[in-house]
Amino acid sequence: MRRPPMMILITVAAACGLMLAACGGKSMPTTYYTLSAIEPAPGETPQPLPAGEVSIGIGPVVFPDELDRQRIVTRSGRNRLEINEFHRWGGTLEANFSRVLAENVSLLLRNNKVVAQPWERYFEPDYRVVMDVRRFDGRLGEFASLNATWMIRKAGMNKPLVVRQTIVQEAIAAEGYDALVAAQSAAAAAISREIAAELQKLITSAP
């Protein structure tokens, strides 16, 4: 009986060694991230509501299928997305984004009656902010992008009072996912300021 060539024996041994190492080794740990709200300056904390203060609801906020996942999505080209297995959102991106919008608008308007959907257990809002997010991703070490269309509706009215599209691109200060999420938080802050400014106009001009 012929013996197998030495090269085949070496290849088989090496493959077995790699399999054993993979089974006995540790996999890369998963890191979880969350967006951060605007940091309040001294004296910017919303005060208790005076009588007649309006209530504001944030939602629904809808994300496209390619972003509506726990794993963080980045871009490596115009039409190419990268979905990372080991860098993930701490919860759903939709809930995280909506909560941060509500916190930001609450701070900017100094109104503590701003709640992300579902708000039914708290109140029926006087104004609702509805948003369709088309893009919320970025390139590692380069920039984070946000492209969203949003509208403001008033209770009892079918036609929206305001319809806007916001496109934001925030430069990333460093490499890695921490810097990416920080830039995405800055993009969320930018759209929050636009929303708060329009709400302020509507509230102050309302009869």
Please report, for the domain that includes residue 76, its CATH number.
3.40.50.10610
In a domain, residue 93? The reply is: yes
Q: Using CA atoms in the order 126, 192, 79, 176, what is the torsion angle rounded to 10 degrees?
A: -140
Contacts with 32 (C-beta within 8 Å, 6 or more apart), sequence order: 88, 89, 90
pLDDT tens digits, residue range 1-12? Answer: 454 544 433 344
Give Cα 38 to chain centroid, integer Å. Answer: 14
Instruction: Choose among 161, 157, 146, 154: nearest CA to 193.
Output: 146
Say which residue the tokens 């906020």 belong to: 61
Which amino acid, 77? G
| Weakest mean pLDDT among 49-53, 69-73, 196-200 | 49-53
Q: 24 is written with which tokens?
A: 């006995």
Domain that holds residue 123: 27-36+48-205
Instruction: Give a yes or no: residue 191 inside a domain.
Output: yes
* Any domain includes 103: yes
Domain count, the chain: 1
Decide if 181 is inside a domain.
Answer: yes
- pLDDT tens, residue by residue, 66-88: 998 889 999 887 778 888 889 99
Rg of the Cα atoms in the chain = 24
On whether residue 32 sits in a domain, the answer given is: yes
Q: Is residue 90 part of a domain?
A: yes
**Average model confidence (pLDDT) across the chain:** 84
pLDDT of residue 26: 63
Share of the chain above pLDDT 70, in %: 81
The predicted pLDDT at position 42 comes to: 64
Cα 136 to Cα 33, 86, 100, 159, 179, distances in angstroms: 15, 19, 14, 27, 15
pTM: 0.82
Mean pLDDT of 104-131: 90
173 located within any domain: yes
Q: What is the DSSP letter of 42?
A: T
